[in-house]
Amino acid sequence: MNHRTLLMLALLTTGCGRYDIDPSQYTEEEGLWDPQSALPTDGGLFVRLTRAGDVALLTPGQDTVRVHLDDAEIDSIEAGAGSAVLTRSTEFVCDAGATPSKYVDDCPSDRLTQVGRADLIDASGSVARFDVGAWYGAFTFSADGHFAVAPIDANRPTAGGGLVNLTSVLVIDEETKTSYEVSVGFAADRVIFRNDAEGKAIGMLVLSRSEVANVDLTSQVAVPRATYPLTLDAGQTVTPIDVALTPDNHYALITIEGSGDLYVLDLESPSINIVALAGHPSALLVDPVSDRTYISYKASSRIDVLDHVRFDVETLDVDSATDHLIQGPGFVFAYSRSGALDGYRIDTTTFAVDRYRFTQPPTKVELAPDGTAAIALTATAGVGRLEVADLRQVDGKVDTDVKPFGLDGVGVGLTFAADADGSRALILQDGVDTLYSLSWPSLQVKAVDLPSPPAAIGTMPDGTFYITHQDALGLVTFLDDADNLVEVNGFGQLGMLDRPLLTQEEN
């Protein structure tokens, strides 16, 4: 049995699959691309063409590139690395002798099988492909783009995969273009990479049911260096929720579902210490400068500060509970998305706490790239506002007044980019064709009329904004520093009439 056969997923396609659709009967409303799939890279913006099963690479002012896999349909764009993206796709294989055709829709549904794979794709097409069982969930990428790791998704079928090791994760080494499985623990669902001083991934922690595996990535094939139990009671399930690494990579901090226990794993000399917290943390943030971890709680009006030497907890009392922590330069900003109005700037040197009060509950807060402002989208009863908290310190003091701006609708997207005069935020509103651009610190607001309602917003690596639209044929606008809008449209039609091809079995 060859490897391809082992990974074969015997999912039978049904009569209502997409290949039963007559392309001539296609209507716009069904969408040819996914506006939520946009993924910016150094080489341009990748979007997924849902109809064609391809991706398109969009670059303002240049021709759109359709990246097509001859023998597979791209199902998702997972993440980018440099100018490439990793995609998940499906190959369609028809049983030998079932049909002489090369098209998927010519194969009887009971003879059609699907095989999962992943491809590293750039503008030229697939530069590397990997067999990936359909039972693997979403990939997590190392910051240096070297590794992509996918745990098994318990909600996906393993039928057809032969004997599937349910304690494994799939590791893709994008440098060597190889992939392999590592046994880490049952129901693994979180991965965090350990990097060296140069930012190179050297290991990873994989969280699974009642276990955490510390995997060494420096050897040719990754191996668990140590596996840490989270309980000794076989009848008890301890589910790790969040994980953070101390700046020196010496310790991993792990929160537990429904518990106030914070597990501190010593990764150098494997051992475990449990720090009792005030309750279940709502957010955990490691500040590398002060070498401390900040912990917030939904049910307690406090921020705990954990040192990384003795793991002592110091408590900062605040006026309301928070559930989000954002790292800023020299401070941590804490706020709540659970209805509270307060935000707190916590100085990571003096631990001084400055309280900001928004006029409405925040739904999203972003910091300016230089950390001098926090911009919040707030909403109550369908009334959306943009609120700006000035975080600058003058003579050690801050102005805690928040400056609110009314919006046409409810803000749903917010992104920042630095510009020559400071920074600029773009605010996306639900169902509104107008985009607002707020310059900081001048607080100048510009309205940018969009060609159609936006779907998503983001920033390209060069600082250019991109906006995707709910346009069935494909529409993305790019907004540069000078507020010039460049539209790229119609790319959704690329390959829409192509008949999907069967994958030819290897001999």
Partner 1 sequence: MRCPSLVFLLTLAGCSQDYAMGDGSQPRDTGTSTDGNGGGGGGGAADTGLPSEDETDRLSLRPAQTDVYVFVANPDRDTVTRINVLTQEVKTVRVGHVPNAVVTTPDNLSAVVYNAGGDSVSVIHTDPVTKEMSVDTVDVRDNLNTMSLSPDGKYALLWHDAKGVDVDAGTGGAASYNEVSVVSIVGLSHTAIVVGFNPKGVRFTRDGSRAIVFSDASIASVDLTGASPDTTFIPIADPLNAPSAEEVEIDPAGHYAFVRQAATDALTVVDLRTREVEAVPVGQNPTDLDLTPDGLGAVVVSRAALEVSVFSVADPFADPRVVPFPDDTPFGSVIVGTDDLAVLFTNATPADRYALWTLSGDQIALHPLIKPAASIARTPDGGSLMVVHTSTDNPDGSTPLPYQKKAAVSLIDLSDFRTNTISLSAPILGFANSSDGKRGYVTMVDKPFMEVLHYDTLIYDEVALRSNAVFVGVLPDLDVNDGDQPPAWVSQVHPLGRMSFYDPDDASLETITGFELNGAIEE
Of 132 and 305, CB closest to partner 1? 305
Of 50 and 210, CB closest to partner 1? 210
Of 307 and 408, CB closest to partner 1? 307
Smallest CA-to-CA distance from 323 within 300, 305, 307 is with: 300
Report which residue type is found at 186.
F
Q: How far is the CB of 312 from partner 1 (least distance, A)?
A: 7
Q: How far is the CB of 150 from partner 1 (least distance, A)?
A: 23
d(CA 158, CA 146): 27
Q: How far is the CB of 224 from partner 1 (least distance, A)?
A: 8
DSSP for residue 347: E
Of 228 and 358, CB closest to partner 1? 228
Is residue 109 within 8 Å of residue 95, measured between CB atoms? no
Report which residue type is found at 12.
L
Kindly tell me the sign of the dihedral angle through the C-alpha atoms of 458, 460, 465, 471. negative
Q: How far is the CB of 225 from partner 1 (least distance, A)?
A: 7
**Residue 194's beta-bridge partner residues?**
203
Of 14 and 269, CB closest to partner 1? 269
Q: How far is the CB of 261 from partner 1 (least distance, A)?
A: 8
Q: How far is the CB of 488 from partner 1 (least distance, A)?
A: 52
**Rounded to an integer, what is the distance from CA 108 to the centroid of its chain?**
37
> What does the block give as tokens for 406?
């009314």
Three-class SS state of 369: coil
Region for residue 455 given its phi and psi (left: phi exceeds 0; alpha: psi -120 to 50; beta: otherwise): alpha
Q: How far is the CB of 311 from partner 1 (least distance, A)?
A: 8
Of 261 and 399, CB closest to partner 1? 261
DSSP for residue 136: B
The maximal CA–CA distance of the chain, rounded, in angstroms, is: 81
Q: How far is the CB of 310 from partner 1 (least distance, A)?
A: 5
Of 224 and 453, CB closest to partner 1? 224
Of 194 and 469, CB closest to partner 1? 194
Given strand 292-297, what is the order of strands in its sheet? 281-287, 292-297, 302-307, 313-317
Measured at the alpha carbon of residue 84, what is the angle toward residues 130 and 180, in degrees to the nearest 5?
25
Of 270 and 461, CB closest to partner 1? 270
Cβ atoms within 10 Å of 447's Cβ, excluding its own? 11
d(CA 172, CA 167): 17
Q: How far is the CB of 243 from partner 1 (least distance, A)?
A: 16
DSSP for residue 363: E
Smallest CA-to-CA distance from 344 within 336, 335, 352 is with: 335
Report which residue type is found at 355.
R
Contact residues for partner 1, defined by CB under 8 A = 224-233, 261, 263, 269-276, 310, 312
